[in-house]
Structure 1
């Protein structure tokens, strides 16, 4: 199945445009000389991404004397990620947090950072994605679609969880329907891990697990806990197959509408938000693990060599251009 496609005009996105227009939405909503940036997020208010971005809004408003502010809309209020990124491109909203899988559907070069084995740790990942020499051209490659990538937030290490029992080897996933994001890389990844990939919006996962539409999913411990997936899928197997990545994108026209002074202040506060998020992430992952154990989640280690061997073909299959090879080599060199 190929998810590399242009934007489609979705009915739900169109409805969201009307709703936002009715309440004064739109890229860089202005009141006098002020600019309010509306940001779409699919996580809850307890998630590190919300906390860091909410603080970003406060700090940007203070540092610009109220000329620029950021309003964070959590819980997919402004739509799922596929809808949100279209709304940012259209200029109906200004910013969104989107998984790396969403951007690989717009520019395949982004898929390099979505591959297992590219990053060894969160610290390695954040060093690479903040290095302008590696990501500068990549982050501006979507400006013809009115999207600028500000940078990234870690998703931490991702693993498999399911409703049936511990997963030890890829054979244990045989016949299991595993939720994935809409991405060629993710679909192939789950197939190689032994499961049956089932693309689905993040907000639908809890009900799908509860009803048996899917058997499992893959994610980090924080999202597993904050979305309460542990209530309906208590087996968490430490496959640690991927260090995941979110991006924060902004409508290019809204970004360029800031004065030079305000943009500099915004970028300074964005850099601070990335640091805050990374620190929060590492701390909250430890707390989430403890809370999950206390709530009855059953953790187990896996045959890591078996999963590594199963996933090895992904690199050769999906790195097939000189640009992608250059990005991959730079990322791996940073680990040495």
Structure 2
């Protein structure tokens, strides 16, 4: 963004004297504004989420409200949801060119070329829930564990790109949900055709024999209803955001197929232009809201599940399928971790170290993984 011209500086001083200054939160100023400044900071926030999405309702919206309240109006958010301002996957460019101040979220898992390590939260698990994964993810973002070259996860993924990031709650666990198709045997599994939201799901699908189709979640409702495929790897808590409670009538919850995670992101330049006391408020409010946001996902999943069951939907666990299917699914989990690690290592990334760090954080919070994954060292 343009630096202040001399005329702009003179105008700014005259406005200060008049007591009516308003400062953009972008990279207009090179130095951090002093904590004593009464200037209003207006931050432009863009989100690809709908306002009905659990991330928006449980984290981003209440976080903005909390920051505005705690700063007594010194910070004001000009926000745009539902891709109203910036399309999904174009947030990074918009941050870099100053079109927006905050990406909410930065969709790192849709961009594995630039953010390869962020896919780790989508690795399948045996058991976990939203709170377990969210706490593990928060610890991951704050972790000082060195993955390679003396750098942490955040430093490797975001530091070199000049980004300031905070963790957000993860989504609820991804499961297999279908329309009019049940899963009882290994053959049933291999006949499935499912929408795959991430590259990790494609790896898992290939390892267990499921046919996968890549498609934006916004197109899923119509595609399943016209028979393009049977269902999707998806989070029950997010059904209502896309109308899928009207579509899915069978769900297999026997394995946890990862937790989608995103990042609250700004450029370091914009972040450094904000007074330190406001930075502290923004960061404190973020970490306070994270478990609340996770609970919103969990509560939402419970309500949706009960309503779906009342309408005849079936939810099955691992014990509801035969032994051959159970073995195929567990082997699929193990093979997915192995393949993901090998691909990253082949591209010069610390895939194994990243996977083991995530495994340990999940287990510390109460999750479980297959024995073969626990034996990684």
User: Aligning the two structures, in what range does the TM-score lie when normalised by the shorter sequence?
Assistant: 0.7 to 0.9
Give matches, 1:188-227, under 5 Å. Answer: 188-227=203-242
Q: 1:172 to 1:138 in 2, by over 3 A?
A: same
Give matches, 1:67-216, under 5 Å. Answer: 67-78=74-85, 80-93=87-100, 94-99=102-107, 101-117=109-125, 120-131=128-139, 132-133=142-143, 137-140=152-155, 141-181=157-197, 183-216=198-231
Give matches, 1:17-32, under 5 Å. Answer: 28=26
Q: Which is higher, the Rg of structure 1 or of structure 2?
A: 2
2-structure distance, mates of 1:225, 1:126: 21
Once the two structures are TM-superposed, the CA of residue 104 in structure 1 deviates from its matched residue by 3.0
* 3-state secondary structure, aligned to 2:45: strand
Which shifted more, 167-176 or 285-294?
A: 167-176
Q: Does the Cα contact within 8 Å between 1:52 and 1:277 map onto a contact in 2?
A: yes
Give matches, 1:244-259, under 5 Å. Answer: 244-252=259-267, 253-259=269-275
* 3-state secondary structure, aligned to 2:181: coil
Structure with greater proportional strand content = 1
**What's 2:47 paired with?**
40
**Cα deviation code 1:168-208 (max 9, x no counterpart):** 34431334331112x43221112223221111112111121
2-structure distance, mates of 1:53, 1:246: 14
Q: 1:208 to 1:155 in 2, by over 3 A?
A: same
Residue 333 of structure 2 is aligned to residue 318 of structure 1 = no
**What's 2:285 paired with?**
269
* 3-state secondary structure, aligned to 1:186: helix
Which 4+ stretches in 1 moved above 6 angstroms? none
Once the two structures are TM-superposed, the CA of residue 124 in structure 1 deviates from its matched residue by 3.2
The alignment's TM-score, normalised by the length of structure 1, stands at 0.80
* 3-state secondary structure, aligned to 2:180: coil
Q: 1:145 to 1:266 in 2, by over 3 A?
A: same
The alignment's TM-score, normalised by the length of structure 2, stands at 0.72
**What's 1:23 paired with?**
none
Once the two structures are TM-superposed, the CA of residue 61 in structure 1 deviates from its matched residue by 0.8
Q: 1:192 to 1:86 in 2, by over 3 A?
A: farther
How many residues matched? 310
**Among 276, 296, 305, the residue aligned to 1:289:** 305
Q: 1:47 to 1:331 in 2, by over 3 A?
A: closer
Q: Does the Cα contact within 8 Å between 1:179 and 1:216 map onto a contact in 2?
A: yes
Q: 1:102 to 1:195 in 2, by over 3 A?
A: same
Structure 1, unpaired ranges of 5+: 1-25
2-structure distance, mates of 1:111, 1:168: 29
